[in-house]
């Protein structure tokens, strides 16, 4: 039992250090030796916990995207109109970013280094998150909550761009909490979508 708990802590440390190093040095600039050194194990010992560097990246990226998908699923089935569901999405997105901006940046930028089936799965999940947001906006446009002339493609991509950029400028030690920023960002973004 103790060995299993120790292995779990080691794996957690490997993921934590890989996330930090991928964020600081980029995926291609980080070696398995770098990760082993940061964790305090021999490079060969890493392979008792993971298959390889891409496995680490996939685990980090997929867990990050899955947290955004869980948010969108909850928002889509939540109470209220499309404006309230979109507000919940915006606030939740910023909250996830605020929990770990470093990890979020790896999720948003380093996924491009995934290959084959890993890349296909991540691209599909990213498309699903975009589709969930588009669905809420489509509902809002159809119900008259959002401007009926709303360009869905531009609006969805503009919203995602604004949300994803928060990881670049959010400071956990700044004067505003993630919740405060999420609320103000929701106000600003929804104002441009609302109908008369």
Calculate the alpha carbon distances from 15 to 42, 63, 106, 166, 175 in Å.
16, 11, 12, 23, 29
- Minimum mean pLDDT among 44-48, 83-87, 181-185: which range? 44-48
Q: What is the pTM of this model?
A: 0.87
User: With 60 as the cut, is the pLDDT of residue 1 above it?
Assistant: no
Every domain of the chain and the residues it spans: 1-50, 52-191
CA distance 49 to 7: 7
Structure tokens at 4: 């299993």
Residues near 151 by Cβ (< 8 Å), separated by ≥ 6?
none
Q: What is the CATH number of domain 52-191?
A: 1.10.357.10
CB 49 within 8 A of CB 28: no
Under a CB-based contact definition with an 8 Å cutoff, are residues 178 and 95 in contact?
Answer: yes
Rounded CA-CA distance 41/35 in Å is: 9
Interhelix angle for 101-109 vs 152-169, to 10°?
A: 130
| pLDDT 10s digits, 103-144 | 999 999 999 999 999 999 999 999 999 999 999 999 999 999
What is the b/e burial string over 129-157, where b = at least 16 CB atoms within 10 angstroms of the residue's CB? Answer: beebbbbbbbbbbeeebbeeebeeeebbe
| CATH number assigned to the domain with residue range 1-50, chosen from the 4 options 3.40.50.1980, 1.10.10.60, 3.30.43.10, 3.40.50.1480 | 1.10.10.60
- Rounded Cα gap, residues 95 and 108, in angstroms: 15
* 33 and 72 Cβ atoms separated by less than 8 Å: no
- What would the pLDDT profile of 73-113 be if each residue is shown by its tens digit? 999 888 889 999 999 999 999 999 999 999 999 999 999 99
């Amino acid at each position: 039992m103790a060995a299993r708990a120790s292995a779990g802590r080691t794996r957690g440390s490997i993921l934590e250090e890989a996330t930090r190093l991928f964020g600081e040095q980029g995926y291609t600039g980080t070696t398995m030796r770098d990760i082993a050194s940061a964790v305090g194990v021999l490079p060969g010992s890493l392979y008792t916990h993971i298959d390889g560097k891409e496995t680490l990246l996939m685990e980090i990226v997929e867990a990050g995207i899955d947290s955004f998908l869980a948010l969108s699923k909850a928002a889509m089935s939540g109470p209220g109109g499309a404006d309230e569901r979109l507000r919940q999405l915006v606030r939740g997105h910023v909250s996830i970013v605020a929990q770990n901006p470093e990890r979020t940046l790896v999720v948003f930028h380093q996924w491009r280094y995934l290959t084959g089936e890993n890349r296909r799965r991540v691209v599909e999940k990213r498309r699903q998150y975009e589709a969930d947001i588009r669905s809420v906006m489509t509902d809002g446009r159809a119900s008259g909550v959002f401007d009926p002339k709303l360009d869905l493609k531009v609006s969805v991509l503009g919203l995602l761009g604004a949300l994803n950029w928060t990881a670049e400028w959010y400071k956990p030690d700044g004067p505003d909490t993630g919740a405060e920023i999420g609320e103000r960002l929701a106000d600003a973004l929804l104002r441009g979508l609302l109908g008369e």
